[in-house]
Structure 1
Amino acid sequence: MTKTIVITGGSRGIGRATALLCAKRGWNTVISYVGNKEAAEQTQADCENAGGKCVIERCDVACEQDVISLFASAINGFGTLDGVVNNAGIVASPQPIIDMDIARMQRIFDTNILGAYIVAREAARHMVRSRGGAGGAIVNVSSMAAKLGGPNEYVDYAGSKGAMDAMTIGLSKELGPEGVRVNAVRPGIIETDIHASGGRPNRAADLGPGCPLGRAGKAEEVAESIIWLLDDASSYVTGAFMDVSGGR
């Protein structure tokens, strides 16, 4: 069955890898981006070459109207919504909390917490059976930082992902009776652009060898777990966390 999946932050990294795996299954995707339209257009082209239809839309998840428009694009374009990958997130340069200013923390929390909650709300509004939806699956992209705490680097980011974990548990219970499963993946050290955006482009190469599996992970490896949680193969799984971290 063809599914329609919304992926926030879908132009690069884990979001892009997930979109491509969706496309290979013949699923429709609606992916959001914030600043890099060129990367989004490339992902769109790659998805369509892989066999799936893809719509791209600029969306700042911290802006309610942007998120509402993103979901409207999915419904208007494909008529239905089967899954949401709540993936958009940001990190800042490594700092102990004593040096963090309010602007940094506000930006992290606006995107990673408020944005994630707005996305989850809109997903619920479109998928719950009591409002005419057909059910579906939400996959929250958290982080191992929620368990490890991010000391001396980004306790703000870690805390924002801890909030996402709490949301996953609560919404799995709230939305389960409505036919919507809610799960999360917690990536560890993964080779993506997020490290460069946080000022440490070599972070994955530096820390990967210290994982029990001896290397950093790849975005595609996280995407495989996300796809399984979106798929009907995981139909009895909700409120679960998959640590894709090489044992870290």
Structure 2
Amino acid sequence: MTTQSKVMLVTGASRGIGAATALLAGSRGYAVCVNYHQRGDAADAVVQAIRAQGGQAIAVQADMAQEDQIMTLFERVQQAYGRLDALVNNAGVLDRQATVEQMSAARIRRILDTNVLGTFLCCREAVRRMAPRNGGLGGVIVNISSMAARLGAPNEYVDYAASKGAVDTLTLGLAKEVAGDGIRVNAVRPGLIHTEIHASGGEPGRIDRLKDAVPLKRGGTPDEVAAAVLWLCSDEASYTTGTFIDVSGGR
């Protein structure tokens, strides 16, 4: 790896928005760490696709709900590349569609452990490496939130929406906390995007049901979200921190 290569870690990057972000980053000269939880085959495919276009990538398994695994993940990035310039907190989970009245404590805890605790811990580890006082060179953090944080996801995923509301507040607070360290922190709020997450919630055709409520009358693609993420990571966004890009078709 040349010293000029910037390094990006993308959590939950074996599929969907994470995979699209990793692939786009690789095409733009980043050395990419493709994190995954269970889909090792899919993560390896993303790595091979990046390498096939001349880029550098590794795949590292880690569960975002486990602090020790998160710390090992960041250590692996340091060992492989010696630096970290960009973190994209993309990993997130939801459960089957349900009302709050139907939700168990175990379900809510599982959502919050990955979507909130995991994002917090990844931000912590990134700052520990990016801040100049820790020997870093500054950097960028992009949190993948959701339009659900603003819309609430009633009768479907209020727990998921609440977790993304926490991510929004984390983005605002951390951006102010580390601005003096040369670290920018922003978030992207995807709307209805064509990924497997809808099937995991129990309704593979959810976008078709809701697309007429979107001003652009369609669902978005992972590539469209990835483009917003990469802009926030770029020097073109050098005066942008503590803010949000809604990639939601106007919804």
Short-chain TM bin: over 0.9
1:101 shift after superposition: 0.8
Q: Secondary structure at the match of 2:24?
A: helix
1:209 shift after superposition: 3.1
Partner of 1:47 in structure 2? 50
1:169 shift after superposition: 0.2
Say yes or no: does 1:181 pair with 2:184: yes
Partner of 1:71 in structure 2? 74
1:65 shift after superposition: 1.1
Give the distance between the partners of 1:21 and 1:145, measured in 2 at CA: 25
Say yes or no: does 1:86 pair with 2:85: no
> Which of 160, 168, 171 matches 1:168?
171
Partner of 1:245 in structure 2? 248
Partner of 2:220 in structure 1? 217
> Which of 203, 208, 221 matches 1:205?
208
1:51 shift after superposition: 2.3
Q: Secondary structure at the match of 1:191?
A: coil
Say yes or no: does 1:135 pair with 2:141: no
Please give the root-mean-square deviation of Cα atoms over the aligned residues, in Å. 0.8
User: Could you tell me which amino acid in structure 2 is paired with residue 160 of structure 1?
Assistant: S
Give the distance between the partners of 1:116 and 1:213, measured in 2 at CA: 30
The percentage of counterpart residues that share the same residue type is: 49
Say yes or no: does 1:26 pair with 2:29: yes
> Which of 195, 199, 210 matches 2:198?
195
Alignment of 1:2-21 (within 5 A): 2-21=5-24
Alignment of 1:87-166 (within 5 A): 87-166=90-169
1:193-218 CA distance string (max 9 Å, x none): 11111111111222223200010000
Give the distance between the partners of 1:75 and 1:28, measured in 2 at CA: 12
**What TM-score comes out, normalization by structure 2 length?**
0.97
Q: Secondary structure at the match of 2:25?
A: helix
User: Could you tell me which amino acid in structure 2 is paired with residue 138 of structure 1?
Assistant: I
| Count of equivalent residues | 248
Which segments of structure 1 move beyond 6 Å, counting only runs of 4 or more? none
Give the distance between the partners of 1:139 and 1:127, measured in 2 at CA: 14
Partner of 1:59 in structure 2? 62
Give the distance between the partners of 1:40 and 1:90, measured in 2 at CA: 17
Give the distance between the partners of 2:95 and 2:150, measured in 1 at CA: 18
Q: List alignment gaps of at least 5 residues for structure 2.
A: none
